[in-house]
Chain A
Amino acid sequence: MTGNCRLFRGFIILLLLCLLMGCWDSDEIDNLAIVIGSGFDIVNDGQAEATVQIASPTGFPSAGNGGTEISPYLSLSEKGADSSEIINSMQQQLSRRFFLGHRQVIIFGEEYARHGIDQFIDLFMRSPDSRYTGYVLTAYGISAKDVLNASYVFENIPAIAINKMQEEGNALGTLVGEFIASLASDEKTTVTGAIRIVETGAAGNVYRIDHAAVYRENSLAGFLNEEQMKMLLWLKGKLQGSMMSIQFEPKSDKFRGKVGIVFFKSDAKIDVRLENEIPHVAVQMKAKAKMMNNDTPVNMGINENLQQLEKKFVEKIENTLNNILETAQKEWKVDIFDFAEEIHVQHPQFWKNTKDQWLELYPKVPVSFQIELEIQNTGRTQAPAHFKK
């Protein structure tokens, strides 16, 4: 009896040894082709082209191997009709398993974005590897391939540079999760940061994320410029750290007349009032800022001057906001400030009835902006310190 029992125990132990190893899914890091960034473009014959940047750890320059000539990343481009076709043909060129778990940026080429971006998005959610935490960007004026193939000085892998720039928060950043959620929603407009390449001459190229891309349904409607993008950040409550400057005084021999501020707190509230079945939108925007530079002879230590400055900033901001609204309502027909979401929350019954006609109604919605800007301090000096009286 005991012998039998021992045999049985031995059998169980052997079985567990086999099962617990988990050999089927063993993934050593040197067997993975870790995709750091990917980009999508459209090519002439209507097919899509995907570009991926795969980290190559042996290529990282380290103290030991000094100046290796191996590139720290591998760039692959492949044309195809859908994700599986493209991944399949990429895998055929790779000695390691294609792995999306650490993808940090996804870039849509401008032309591709204008054609509609549905093709590849399903994979972002469906693939077990794919994550929510990368950033989605749109290339401004160029193709995604060009963006990913540019080199960047600070980082070994360009995609990591883009990710870090987005983390830094000075420009609009949209995470994959937010991106897909806004595409799925009736009430939220999809916006992403827009990246371009600026030539700096000797040092090579640098990236610059100073625009925002606005989508209508699933295709690119247009871009917002830097000032306009900041308004979008303000409405999302993410203005902290952004800078802005205005022409406070006319340019003279000694002074250029510019004053600059940096925002450190922002807040926005949208109120919707129904009048004769038409929603009237009132946007309240508040921000606190401090002065960065003063290229005028004006002493900002005097309250009247400061108030004058605030007033000028508010005027400029109002102008920018009205510009965006004009374009969004008349030209793009895109509910860029997500008024729909507020109407849904504040007047659910009304929204139920008008949901389907919202895009026809939207261009006619009257909108008013109320801006409160407080410049709370002027930095260490009052009038410019180097100024001779």
Chain B
Amino acid sequence: MKLSNIQLFWMIAIMELGMTLVMTTTVSLQAAKQDAWISVFFAGCIALLIAFVATRLTLLFPDQTLVQFSEAILGKWIGKIIVLIYLVQWYTIVPIVLRQFSDVIEMLLLQRTPSLAIILLMILLMSYVTFTGKIEGIGRCSEILGPMIFLMVFIVLFTNIENINVKNMLPLYVDNGMKNIMQGALAPASYLGHAVEIVMLTPFLTRPRQAAVYVVWGVVVPVVIVIVSTLMIIITIGTDLSVHMWYPFIELTREIKLGFIENWDAFAVVIWITSVFVKLSIYLFITTYGTAQFLKVENWRNMVWIIAPIILLFTFVPKNVTESTNNYLNNYWVPFVLPVNMIGIPLLLLVIGKMRQRKARANS
């Protein structure tokens, strides 16, 4: 079970790119209108901070996961509570992403297919890759799918050049002001902050000490692409319409009219399915591995067969698309996960861990 750093780069990049593009743009557009791309820029800065703190943290214990080193840093009981906070995050994000995945597919593509069929397929696929391929399999998948996803995004952006109307992004800043722009930054920041999961992955890296650079690039590259895409949404669809759409990026593919070639939805679907697959597999691995370590289960792989059905059940908890897309994002992910799980706890662990290390060194 070994990951190369380049695989880590692709894993983080895909995990951040696909979901941020599709799920968070409406929220920033609603808050910051034509300045939403500036919001994404600030979101990128926050995400970089998260990545920076997380990588520094992993360097303290490069051969342990969060579940192990949180106990090492904060003692047995507080450490366990910290892990519980993350377990809540992992056990809710997987069903929610699955649900969002099936929502998009159902809303745009397969209107009459029962969502169970769509969700079951994805669960089988991600369980399979986690069970047989382990983290190495997921890494290799990302390495292959990553460039494909990037290419698709570039094609969607490039073919839209004809629809550009630059006036849509003007005037800059004056209309919305700093407050709205920062407010629009929160949702994308919370999705771009997924790099924090590196704290569960370092023990599998071949060269964990060199990982920091790859993690940072894994954040910077998607951030740049999301900025360009948001800008593209603003100057092609315009803010009057895009604020009312569920998935403006996917609508972008529908605007394309390249000569007689229309209806490019397939590109968006490829981007969507592949990036959701990679993201879910990584999270399923983290959830399974983390739970196994938490409960001190020897063979973590067998946990997949217990956790996958639990996730499947959770997937049907949200009643409708508003609950799965907006409520979770606005009531849990942005106000809680972003400040606590992504920034607060890693920072706390980093500070205390550093202090302990220094003390230990001083004692010896």
Contacts and interface: CB of A to CB of B under 8 A. Distances in A.
Interface string B238-252: 101100110000010
Given A19-B117, A25-B110, A345-B170, A184 B175 contact: no
A349 B107 CA distance: 40
B257 A133 contact: yes
A180 interface: yes
Contact of A345 (B114, B121, B171, B262): B171
Interface string B106-144: 011111111001001100100000000000000000000
Interface in B11-69: none
Contacts of A180: 241
Contacts of A19: 117, 120-121
Interface in A114-158: 125, 128, 131-133
Looking at A133, A175, A349, which has the most chain B CB atoms within 10 Å of its CB?
A: A133
A344 B114 CA distance: 47
Interface in B225-239: 237-238
B255 A352 contact: no
A187 B251 CA distance: 22
B255 A132 contact: yes
Interface string A168-193: 00000001010011001100000000
Contacts of B238: 181, 185
Chain B interface residue count: which class?
Answer: 20 to 34
A181 B236 CA distance: 10
A178 to B, nearest CB: 9
A131 B110 contact: no
B171 A12 contact: no
Interface residues of A, number: 27
B356 interface: no
B269 to A, nearest CB: 12
B254 interface: yes
B1 interface: no
Given A22-B110, A341-B167, A133 B262 contact: yes
Interface in A179-218: 180-181, 184-185
A323 B312 CA distance: 66
Contacts of B263: 101, 131
A346 B121 CA distance: 53
B362 interface: no
Given A25-B110, A25-B113, A12 B241 contact: no
B107 A128 contact: yes
A177 B255 CA distance: 8
Contacts of A12: 124
Contacts of A177: 237, 241, 255
Contacts of B109: 25, 128
Contact of A132 (B124, B171, B244, B254): B254
B313 interface: no
B237 A24 contact: no
Contacts of B360: none
A15 B240 CA distance: 45
Interface in A323-368: 341, 344-346, 348-349, 352
A184 B241 CA distance: 7
Interface of B: 107-114, 117, 120-121, 124, 167, 170-171, 174-175, 237-238, 240-241, 244-245, 251, 254-255, 257, 262-263
10 contacts: A19-B117, A24-B113, A25-B113, A175-B257, A177-B237, A184-B241, A184-B244, A348-B171, A348-B174, A352-B174
Given A132-B251, A181-B241, A348-B175, 15 more contacts: A12-B124, A15-B120, A22-B113, A24-B112, A24-B113, A25-B110, A128-B111, A131-B262, A175-B257, A177-B255, A181-B237, A181-B238, A344-B170, A345-B167, A352-B175
- By Cβ-Cβ distance, the 10 closest A-B pairs, closest first, are A184-B240, A348-B171, A348-B174, A24-B113, A345-B170, A25-B110, A185-B240, A24-B112, A133-B257, A19-B121
